[in-house]
Structure 1
Amino acid sequence: MNVFERYAPFIRNYIYESGWQILRGVQNAAGDVIFSTDENLLLTASTASGKTEAAFFPILTLLEENPSKSVGVLYIAPLKALINDQFERLSRICEEADINVTRWHGDTTQTGKRKLLRKPSGILQITPESLESLMINKHMEIVSLFHDLRFIVIDEIHSLLRGDRGLQTFCLIERLCKAAGCDPRRVGLSATIGNPKAAGDFLACGSKRKTLIPEFDRGKEKWRLSMEHFFNTAPQAGEDKEDSISEPIGYKAPTGANPGLAYIFEHTKGRKCLIFTNSREECEAVCQNLLQYCEFNHEPDRFLIHHGNLSASYRESAEDEMRDDESLVSICATATLELGIDIGRLERAFQIDAPFTVSGFLQRLGRTGRRGEPAQMWFVMREDHPEPRAIMPEMIPWYLIQGIALVQLYIEERFVEPPRLERLPFSLLYHQTMSTLASNGEMSAGELASKVLTLSAFTRISQDDFRKLLLHLIETDHINRTEGGGLIVGITGERVVNSYKFYAVFMENVEYSVRSESQELGTVVKPPAIGGKVAIAGRVWVVEEVDHKKRAIYVSLIKGNIPAYFGDVPGDIHTHVLEKMKEILCTNATYMYLMNNAKVRLDQARACFDMAKLKDRVLIHLGGNMWALFPWLGSYAFLALERFLKIHCAKELGLKGLSPVRPYFIQFSMSVGEKEFYKIVCKKACEDIDPLSLVYEKEVPMFEKYDEFVPDELVKKGFAYGVLDIEGMKKRVREWEKFL
C-alpha cells in the first residue's frame, strides 16, 4: 500500500515541514502492519532509523480518524529521560491534530496528571514503576482511563527481556487490560533484538494476537571503531614501536595520571562525546580524574556526569548541555544514556573496559551516528601490569578479549543476547500478589490466585508453591485473614506496599540524599561520618551533617579524589561471548579496529595462551597441587559449575581452595591428576543432578529485591531452577570426555 498517502493530513504536513524526501523502509513496513492488520508489531531497526515515527505516524492517523473515548495510546519506556525526550517529539507531531500527550513519572508535576484524570484522551507516556503506582493508587480510575485503549507501545523492549522488570511490565499490561476491559494492540521497538521470534512471543504474552515482525531494507550500517589498550602505569605494550599512540601529547598530566584517561582527555578536546563506564562508582572516578586534568591544564571544565543516583536536575542539565550544538562538553555516563535519548550531534562514544553484553555495546554505539554520520566508538581497555611472578590466568587481558568478542559476534553472526524466559520469579510473584491485593482490596485466596497465577509471567509457578507463599505471608503479617476468611494486606505488608520504593522490582540500596545548601546532588549508599568525604556529581564533598532519620547528608565542595560507592553492579555475560573469546585467543585473525597497543597486547595474550596449550584443553597445571580451569561458560552456567565442583566432586578430587574469577577461570588445588579430574567430573555430570543440591547448606541465595519476604524454600528453588544454568554446565562438562 502507499503508506504516505494513507497517513493523516497533519502527519503528511509534519513530514513536509521536516524536509523528508522519502519514507524509510522501517516506516513503510510499520505502516503496512498497523494499517493492514490487527496484529501486534515488533519493529527492530538501528538507532536513529526513525522507529518512533514509524510506529506513531500510522497509530496517530488511526487515532485522529476515530478518536478514543479514553487514553488511546499507552507508551511505556524504561527511563524517565527517554520519556522526556519523546514527549517533546510527540507533542510537536500531535500539536496540529490537537491530540493530547501526557507524561507520567516521578519527576513530572501533578498538573498534567490531574488534567488527564479529569478528561482521559490521547497518549500517556509512563515508566513501569509509575504504571505500578497508577494501578495501586488510582485503581478506581483504571476503567475511565483505559476502557478504549487502542495501542500499547513499548520502547527499548530489549531492555525488558532478561529480568524481573520486564516481567513486571507485562504483568501490569495484562492486569490493566483485564481491569479496563480493553484489548489493545502491542508495538515493541528496539535496535538490538537477538532472537526476534522469541522477543515477538514475549511481546504477545497474555495477548490474543500474534506478533508480526516485518522484513525491510535496513541499508548498510557504517561504523568507525577503534580499540586501544593501556596498562595503568608505564611502559605500554606497544611503547617500543615507532607508531605508538601512547607517546606524549600536547597537555600536562597530573602526577600518577592514568594513561587510558589521558588518552580520553586528549581525544575529547574540541568535541562532543559520551564516555561510558560499567558502574556508577567507575563513572564518578573517571569524571573526577578528567576534571582534574582540566584544572591541571588551566582549561574550563568540559566534563559532565550522568547516572541513576544523580538528582533529576543534574541529569537534565547534562542532557540540555549536550543538545546544544554549540557546546563541546563530554558526559561520563552509565546505562542511563545507553537508551534512545536524542542528545544532539555526538561525534564519538568512548567505552572504558568491555561492556557485559553485545546489546549494551550496540546501544552505546548507537548514541552516535545520528543525522547522517557513521556511528563511532573508541574502546579504552585498561589493566594493571601482571606481577613478575603472575601465573598464566592473570596474563590474559580479559577485558580486551571480551571487547573484541562482543564486536565480532555482531559483525560475523548478528548475535545479540536472547530473552531469559526460563526463570522462576518468586520475588516478582510476591510483588504482584501484594500489588493486586492492595489494588483490589479484600479477596478470597481463590480470587487472588485466579488474578495472579493466570499472568503469563507465572506460567511455571505451581498452585502448591503459590499456596506456600500465601501461608508464609499470613504468618509474617504481610497478609491478614479477615473474619469472613478473605485476605487483605497486613500491617507489615502495608509498610512495604505504601513506600514509593515498592513500585520498582529492581534491587535498590538504602540511599541517602546528598545536599549542598538548597541543591540536591543525588544519592549515595553508606554515608561517611561527619568530616568524611563523599564523591558525587563528578566532584568531592566533605560531610558536614548526617540526618539518619531523613536519610540526608549535607556537604560542602572541596578538592580531591576519592572512590564512590552506590552498590554492586553484577554482569550477565552470555556463554556465546566466552566461546568467542576462546576462538579469538586460538586464531591468528586480525581486527582492523585494534590500535597499536591493543594489537601487541593481543599478540602477547595469544602467545601465552598457545604456550599453555589451552587451544586443546581446559585445565592447566600451575605448579604443585594448583590448577586453573577455563570452562568458557557464561555467568549462570559458570556459577553452576563452580557449585557442582564444590558440592559433587570435591571429595573425590581432593579439591581445596576453589577461587573463581567469574566468568573467566577457576583456580584450585586438588590431589588427583589431569586425567583423573576429567574422569571424575564427566562421570558426575552424567548423573542426575538435583538442582537444589547446588544450594549450599544453610544458604538462602537472595538475588532479587523481594526474596527476603519469600519463604526460604521458594528462594532456594527459584535460584536452583531459575538462575543456575545447570543444563549449559552439564553440556560443557560432557564435552570434556574427549580429554579422557
Structure 2
Amino acid sequence: MSPLDDLDPILVHHIVNSLGWRGLRPLQEESIGPVMAGKDAILLAPTAGGKTEAASFPLLSRMTAERWAGTSVLYVCPLKALLNNLLPRLETYTGWLGRTAALWHGDVTAGRRKRILADRPDVLLTTPESLEAMLVSANVDHRAFFSGLQAIVVDEVHAFAGDDRGWHLLAVLERLQKTVGRPVQRIGLSATVGNPAELLHWLQGSAAGRRSARVVAPHLDEPRQQGAHAAPCDIELDYVGSVENAATVIAALHRGEKRLVFCESRRLVEELGEKLRLRGVTTFLSHASLSVDERRRAEQAFADARDCVIVSTSTLELGIDVGDLDRVIQLDAPMTVASFLQRLGRTGRRAGTRRNCLFLALTEDGLLAAAALLLQWKRGWVEPVVAPPEPRHIVAQQLLALCLQEHQVGDKLWQEWWNGFGPFGQPAEPIVRHLVEEGYLDQDGGMLFIGPEAERRFGQRHFMNLTAVFTSPPQFTVLQGRSEIGRTDPDLLTEEIEGPRKLLLAGRSWLVTYIDWHRKRCFVEPTDSGGKAKWSGLGFERATSFELMRAMREVLLGIDPDVALSKRAVTALAEARDHFMDVVHPGGTLITRTSGGQVRWWTWAGHRANATLAATLGTVVAPAQRVNDCWVRLREDVDRQHWKQAVADVSDQLCLPDVDQRAVKGLKFGEALPPRLAQATLATRFADLEGAQAVLEEPVRFVTLTPS
C-alpha cells in the first residue's frame, strides 16, 4: 500500500495531473503517517526539498476527512516576503479541495483584514508578531477566530529557534493554545541542523515529553557523498583581495547566467552593487534597510531576468523563490555551516545541474574563515540550533502582552497561560514583582493589568512596539520625492565632511538635499558617484564559534578543505600560514611575548570563549581590552608561575563575561527588567563555558617572539 493512499483522493488526482508529479519525494511520503496521526513533528530536508507539501498535503487531507471548520491551520514564517511567496502555492492546494488560504501580516491592508475576519480562511499565513497583534487587538475576537485551530506549521523553524523570536513564538503559541482550550499539533519545517531531536523537543514547548512526536529526515539516512549533502557539489575557493576585484571577477564570469551573491553586511551589498552596475552588469540588491517596494522590485526582476546578478545579505538565504538560479557566489564566508547549506541549496534545482558555490575572499581573515567553514562542512558537521539562554526580557514582554490581551489577569493565575513552560513559569516571579514595583503593571484586588509606565513606554500606536521583539538601531528613512528608497544610519547624516553629503543606497549614489530631524527623514536626489553606506550594530552577532575557530587553526597548521582552490587562494593560504606560523601549535595553546613586552594568549577559541576566559582569569589578564576571536591579551608581568597559579585558582569556577552598557541598552524590553537581571541575561548569552573549559584543560607553551 502506497503512502499516497492515505491522502485525500482529490488531492492525489491533482498531484498527478495538475502538478504532473509521478510520485512524492521521500520526505513527503514519510511525513504522511505522523502528520495524519496528529503527531508533533520536525520535517527536515535541504533547501527545495518539498517541505511545504510534506506538511500541507496530509494536513489538507485531515481537514477534509475530519471536517475541520474555520481557520484550522496556521502557517507561520519568519519573513513576510517568504509568506508572500508561499501564498499562491497554498491557495492552489486549498482550492483543489474547495478550501481557502489567506495572508495576514504588517503589509496587508485594513480592508483585506476586515474581509478575513468576516470570512475566515481555512489556512492563515502569518508571522509571530502579527499573530500576537491579533491576540491583543480590540478589533479581533481572537477566541472566536481561532476556535477551530487544529495545527500550526512553523516554516524555517531553525531560523526562529536560534534567537529571541523563537522564545516569543513559543510563548505566543502557548497563549494561543490556552485560548483554544485544547492541544494543537505543531509541525516544524527545517533545513539541515545538527540536533533535530532537540529542536523538536524545543518546538513542543510545554507538551514536550507528553505528546507523541517524530523527526522525519530521510536524507540523513542516505550516504553522504559531499559533506552534509548527498548530491555532488561544485565548490571553489578563490582569493581576490578587494571588493573592486570581486566585482571584476563576477562581471567576467558566467555571463548569460543568473547569479546570487551573498555578502555579510548591508554596506558590502551596497558597495558591490554599485561597482557591478558601473561595469554594465544588470544588478539588483536585497537587504533589510531597503524599502519593501525596492526589495520586491529587485526580487521580481531577478526572478524574470536571465543574465543578471542579485546581491543580498541573508535576506534571500531562506526559501524565497528567486526563479531558476544558476550560480551562488559568497564574499568571504557566512558565520555558520548551516547558513552555507541554505545558500548552497539555492542552486542545482534544475535537472542536469549541480549545486555550486564560488567563494571570493576579500581579506586574509575572510579566506581563513571560508577555508575553516568548508573544512567543517566536508566533515558533515552542522551547528546545533540552540535557543538563547535566559530570555527574561521576552518574559517581561509576554507578561505585558498577556495583560493587554486579557485586560486583567489573576496575580496567581498568570502562569497557567504558558502551562508552566520553562522561563515563563516559576522563574518569572521576580520579573512580575519588578513590573508591579516600577509601574509597568498595576495590581489591585488580586488582578494584574497594564500600568502607567507600560502605557508611557509602549502605548504608542495601540502598543504596536510591544509585539516586536527585535531591537533596531534608529534609522532615517531616505526619500526621493515621495518614493521611499530605504533607511540609513544617522551617523552618516551627522559626521563632519567636506563638500556635499552623499549616501549609497539601493546600489546608487544620492545627494542629500534636506534632513527632517524631527520626523527622521532624509530627502535625496540622484548623483553620479561618491556615496557612502553605513549601518551600526553591537558586534556580537559576528562572533565566530569555537568549532570554526578551531577549524581555522587546523587550516593554519596545513590542512586544506577538500574543494577546488584557485592558484590565488593557494598562494594566499601559504602567506597566511607563514604570517601565523609562530602563534599556532597542534599540541595546545601558546602564550607569546614580543620584544616590546606585549603578551598574548593565542587560544583560537572564538569571541565568546575568549570573553569568558578574560573574565575568569582577571588576575593575569590585561585590563580594558577588546576581546577577539583569536587571542586574549595578558598582563606584561605574567610568567609561568603566575600563570599556573591563576589557572589552578579557577579550575572549576568559570566567570561570565563583563557586559558593555551599550549592549544592555540594546536589549529590547531590557528596561522592564531589574538591571542586574538584564546584565545577567546578556552575560549568559555572551559566554561560552564549554569552549573556555576546553581551552583551560589544554597544555600551554610560552614563546618569546623575535622580530623577523
Deviation, structure 1 residue 558:
1.1
Contact 1:102 1:123 in 2 (8 A): yes
Q: SS state of the match for residue 165, structure 2?
A: helix
2:546 match: 575
Paired residue for 1:685? 650
Structure 1 residue 352: deviation in Å? 0.9
Pairing 1:410–2:377 present: yes
For residues 22-37 of structure 1, the aligned pairs below 5 Å read 22-35=23-36, 37=37
Q: How far apart, CA to CA, are the structure 1 residues paired with 2:568 and 2:197?
A: 41
Q: Residue 566 in 1 paired to residue 529 in 2?
A: no
**C-alpha distance 306-92 of structure 1, shift in aligned 2 (>3 A):** same
Quote how far apart the aligned CAs of 1:572 are: 4.4
* Counterpart AA for 1:544: T
Contact preservation (8 Å) 1:679, 1:737: no
Contact 2:611-2:686 within 8 A present in 1 as well? no
Identify the range of structure 1 (11-20 vs 425-434) with the bigger mean alpha-carbon deviation. 11-20
Report the Cα distance in structure 2 between the residues aligned to 1:718 and 1:285, rounded to whole angstroms.
36
TM-score in terms of structure 2 length: 0.90
Q: Are the equivalent residues in 1 in contact too, given 2:237–2:359 (CA < 8 A)?
A: yes
The alpha carbon displacement at 1:404 in A equals 1.8
Please report how far the alpha carbon of residue 475 of structure 1 lies from its aligned counterpart in structure 2 after TM superposition.
4.2
Moved more, 173-182 or 554-563: 554-563
Matches for 1:618-633 after TM superposition, within 5 Å: 618-633=590-605
The reply to whether residue 347 of structure 1 matches residue 347 of structure 2 is no
State the match for 2:706 in structure 1: none
Distance 1:552-1:703 versus aligned 2 partners, 3 A rule: closer
Q: CA deviation at 1:669?
A: 4.8
Query: Which of 573, 586, 599 is the equivalent residue of 1:602?
Result: 573
Match for residue 710 of structure 1 among 673, 679, 689: 673
Pick from 460, 473, 480: which aligns with 2:435? 473
Q: CA RMSD in A?
A: 2.6
Given the alignment, which residue of 215, 218, 226 partners 1:216? Answer: 218
One-letter amino acid of the counterpart of residue 314, structure 2: A
2:585 corresponds in structure 1 to 614
Structure 1 residue 182 corresponds to structure 2 residue 182: yes
d(CA) in 2 for partners of 1:321 and 1:93?
26
3-state SS of paired residue (1:95): helix
Q: Counterpart of 1:430?
A: 396
The alignment partner of 1:666 has SS state of: strand
Where in structure 2 are there 5+ consecutive unaligned residues? 223-229, 704-708
| Structure-2 change in CA distance of 1:449 and 1:56 (3 Å) | closer
Whether the aligned pair in 1 keeps the contact of 2:174 and 2:419 (CA below 8 Å) is no
1:420 aligns with 2:386: yes
Q: Is the 8 A contact 1:534 1:543 kept in 2?
A: yes
Give 1:721 shift. 3.6
1:229 and 2:215 are equivalent in the alignment: no
Pick one of 506, 512, 523 that aligns with 1:543. 512
Cα distance between partner residues in 1 of 2:213 and 2:159: 18
- Shift of residue 198, structure 1, vs aligned partner: 1.0
Deviations 1:288-307 (A, max 9, x none): 2222222xxxxxx5111111
Query: CA separation of 1:272/1:376 partners in 2, compared to 1, >3 Å: closer, same or farther?
Result: same
Distance between the aligned counterparts of 2:482 and 2:696, measured in 1?
A: 59
Match of 1:252 in 2: none
Question: What amino acid does structure 2 have at the position aligned with 1:366?
Answer: G
The residue type equivalent to 1:664 in the other structure is: C
**Offset, 1:110:** 2.9
Shift in Å at residue 179 of structure 1? Answer: 1.1
The CA deviation string for residues 235-276 of structure 1, in whole angstroms up to 9 with x for no partner, is xxxxxxxxxxxxxxxxxxxxxx72122112222532211111
CA 1:125/1:683 → structure 2, altered by over 3 Å: closer, same or farther?
Answer: same
Distance 1:448 1:536 in 2: 46
User: What residue in structure 2 maps to residue 492 of structure 1?
Assistant: 453
Q: Distance in 1 between matches of 2:339 and 2:679?
A: 30
- CA change 1:179–1:634 in 2 (3 A) is farther
> Secondary structure at the residue paired with 1:29?
helix
**Distance change (3 Å), C-alpha of 1:67 and 1:571:** farther
Structure 2 residue aligned with 1:443, among 400, 409, 418? Answer: 409
Asked if the contact 2:392–2:423 (Cα under 8 Å) also holds between the matched residues in 1, the reply is no
Identify unmatched segments of 5+ residues in structure 1.
233-256, 295-300, 384-396
Count of residues in correspondence between the two structures: 680
1:374 to 341, 354, 363: 354
Partner Cα distance (2:662, 2:324) in 1: 51
Identify the residue that residue 327 of structure 1 maps to in structure 2: 306
Deviates more, 1:400-409 or 1:270-279: 400-409
Counterpart for residue 315 of structure 2: 336
What is the rounded CA distance, in whole Å, between the counterparts of 1:138 and 1:194 in structure 2? Answer: 42
The C-alpha deviation readout for 1:366-411, integer Å capped at 9, x for no partner, is 122223322211111112xxxxxxxxxxxxx232122122222222
Q: Are the structure 2 counterparts of residues 588 and 515 from structure 1 closer, same or farther at C-alpha, using a change threshold of 3 Å? A: closer
Moved more, 362-371 or 341-350: 362-371
- Using structure 1 for the length normalisation, give the TM-score: 0.86
Q: Is the 8 A contact 2:267 2:534 kept in 1?
A: yes
Task: Say whether 1:732 aligns with 2:695.
Answer: yes
- The answer to whether the 8 Å contact 1:285/1:562 transfers is no
For residues 642-690 of structure 1, the C-alpha deviation after alignment (integer angstroms, 9 at most, x for no partner) is 3334x3434xxxx356343x212334551123x3354134213315345
Once the two structures are overlaid, the 10-residue window that deviates more, 608-617 or 204-213, is 608-617
Contact 2:44 2:217 in 1 (8 A): no
* Amino acid aligned to 1:265: A
Aligned to 1:520: 484
